Amino acid sequence: MKYSLLDIFRANHIINTQIPKRTQVIYAQQLAQGMNHLHKCRPPIIHRDLKPANLLIDFSGTLKITDFGLAKIQPNPEQTDKEVFMMTGETGSYRFMAPEVYLHEEYTETVDVNSYSMILYYMLCGIAPWHGLSGVDAATKAAVNGKRSVIP
């Protein structure tokens, strides 16, 4: 692998530029395809920690999802005791975390879609979502206060 998407974001920020729009679309599409693959598995795989540091770009320019340390297989509620296998609790990086995870509510693979939207925000805006706030403060604003990161 060549770089993480976070490395690319940081380098572009230093030189005050952005990833070319065509490349942004390609990365967004590749990430969506990777998530779709995980979520279409039976049972679905939930990554739970999608963020730019866990997305690597290889020498051919292909984006790869990495770091499955927090990934979980979504239990089938028809085959399990829901109370025992319900997925709740904080896991992942606060800045990219879905509100329901931060609030310790039950969640599904849609938490990865929230992370995807935060990654797109970072890529399109050139700054991290909730720039200037700590990760915990960002998660609190989104989950508790229902706020969204302002688009610059």
Residue range 110-122, pLDDT digits in tens? 999 999 999 999 9
Q: What does the pLDDT look like over 66-81, one tens digit per residue?
A: 999 999 998 776 655 5
User: Does 81 qualify as catalytic in the annotation?
Assistant: no
Residue 77, pLDDT score: 60
Q: Options 1.10.510.10, 3.20.20.70, 3.10.310.70, 3.40.50.300; which CATH number does 3-68+87-143 get?
A: 1.10.510.10
Which of 7, 49, 112, 137 is catalytic? The answer is 49
Q: What does the pLDDT look like over 90-105, one tens digit per residue?
A: 677 999 999 998 998 9
Residue 92, pLDDT score: 79
Q: Which two tokens stand for residue 96?
A: 């990219």
Q: How far apart are CA 74 and CA 77, in angstroms?
A: 9
Its pTM stands at 0.88
Residue 68, pLDDT score: 95
